[in-house]
Amino acid sequence: MANTKKKGVIAILTGGGDVPGLNPAIRAITIRAIRENYEVIGLRRGWAGIIEMIRDKKADNSYCYQQLTEEIVNRAGRTGGTFLHSSRTRPSHLPKESVPDHLKDKYTDEINDLTPEVIKNLEFLGVDYLIPIGGDDTLSYGVRLYKEGIKVVAIPKTMDNDVPGTDYCIGFSTCVTRTINIINTIRTSAGSHERLLVLEVFGRYAGFTAMLPTMAGAANRCVIPEYKFKIDRLAELMLDDRNKNPSKYSVVLISEGAMYEGEEMIFQNQEKDMFGHAKLGGIGDRVAEQLKELSPKYNNGKRVNHITQKLGYMVRGGDPDAIDSIVPMAYGNLALDLILKNIHGRLVVLKNGRYDNMPIDVVTSTKKLVNINKFYNIDRLRPYYHSFEMSPLFIMTSE
């Protein structure tokens, strides 16, 4: 008879922006863990659920966590988003107004560190291992908990693909796939009206989500956060591309964090989240208008209109593609492999086409950006197309 003694409790959470592939990761962890005789808990709404918990067996904490079963995760496992929900909560930097009601008397500063409550709540739940799935913001707090003695095994997720230490983050492939598909849908309108097509994509500090679709042929040019561009040069290139195209249109992909030469990022407003990030947005509209104004200079005095679109949530919604179904499955099982060996303080990764793991503090020790000297032609405002031999799957994702 098989030994059915419970080995321990594993808690999973998803933080930051949603991406396709989160539910497959949760599913993979849960099914493997249950079969290895672990109990699995899903912490709800990122780090928010664990700080809002009330340490009382009689309290209703269903808003904060749920018991996970094979039935629950199988139902969600093929879908996009995260059924555990998400937030951009940062327990170490919680504004006074965000402190849970039952803790307001204890934490009265304008910014509060609720890490002691997080640790006590994890102990209350009997959590032996914590698996946060997120980007560098979510995982940076995972690093903090690991340094406080919590057994953490982290999984990288972000459509920007900018978590250090790994070639691949969950959500990136679907983002690139969606971006290419949407561009190919809109380009028929751009061609019909002989316009400039200006598309803004996510990417605060790193330009991978603009670079890969451009490299795949979806756009003529791209501007990225790593290089401050000259609008006049972009106009010259875009009008040249348009006039060489029999259908008389051209396409540029613009990262939301892209910057003009001599300027800084463009924000929708000055309101910041707990990680200090103001909401970006507006660079695409501004570029589109300026391209229209500059177009006569490079088009024999005739103005060319534009079509502009923020791709935004269209590329992070919906079901995962093949890669974002397979990689999360592998990452989840990699996390369990480590836990079964009592190894923690690690980030599961893809490195040069191979699954592996790295010390978790790689998340906070460096930045992962496009190497513009190697991959980006700053004069032509597009990727270089050479030296692909022995490159990883997504070309520019390895340090």
Q: Is the pLDDT of residue 317 over 80?
A: yes
Q: What is the tens place of the pLDDT at every residue in 152-208?
A: 999 999 999 999 999 999 999 999 999 999 999 999 999 999 999 999 999 989 999
pLDDT at 26 over 60: yes
Q: If one looks up domain 8-170+320-365 in CATH, what number appears?
A: 3.40.50.450
Each residue of 327-350: pLDDT tens digit? 999 999 999 999 999 999 999 999
Which CATH architecture describes the domain 172-312+372-383?
3-Layer(aba) Sandwich (3.40)
Select the more confidently predicted residue: 60 or 78.
60
Instruction: Give me the mean pLDDT over the 353-367 stretch.
Output: 94
Q: What DSSP letter does each residue of 245-280 carry, written as one string?
A: STT--EEEEEETT--BTT----EEEEEE-TTSPEEE
Distance CA 201, CA 48 (A): 27
Q: What is the pLDDT of residue 399?
A: 60
* Res. 90: pLDDT tops 60: yes
What is the pLDDT at residue 271? 60
Please give the average per-residue pLDDT across 210-218, as a whole number. 97
Q: Read off the pLDDT of residues 219-243 as tens digits, 9 standing for 90 and up.
A: 999 999 999 999 999 999 999 999 9
Q: What percent of the chain has pLDDT over 90?
A: 87
Kindly report, residue by residue over 69-79, the tens digit of the pLDDT: 999 999 998 89
Count the Cβ atoms, other than its own, within 10 Å of residue 129.
Answer: 21
Paired tokens of 229: 């561009």
Query: Which residue spans of the chain are classified as CATH 3.40.50.450?
Result: 8-170+320-365
Q: Outline which parts of the chain fall under CATH 3.40.50.460.
A: 172-312+372-383
Closest listed residue to residue 88, CA positions, set 211, 206, 204:
204
pLDDT for 273: 53
pLDDT in tens, 249-307: 999 999 999 999 987 766 555 565 554 555 566 899 999 999 999 999 999 999 999 99
Report, as an integer, the average pLDDT of 121-130: 98
Give the pLDDT band (50/70/90) at residue 5.
confident
- Which band of pLDDT confidence, cut at 50, 70 and 90, is reported for residue 1? very low
- Can you give the pLDDT at residue 387? 82
Looking at residue 282, its pLDDT comes to 84
Alpha carbon separation from 149 to 130, 190, 221, 324 (Å, rounded): 11, 56, 47, 31
CA 180 – CA 233 distance, rounded (Å): 24
Give the whole-angstrom CA distance, residue 316 versus residue 176.
10
Counting Cα atoms < 13 Å in the Cβ hemisphere of 317 gives: 5
Name the 3-class secondary structure at 112: strand
What's the rounded Cα separation, in Å, for the pair 38 and 310? 43
Q: What is the pLDDT of residue 352?
A: 87
What does residue 168 show for φ and ψ, rounded to 5 degrees? -140, 135
The helices-and-strands tally (H runs, E runs) of the chain is: 12, 17
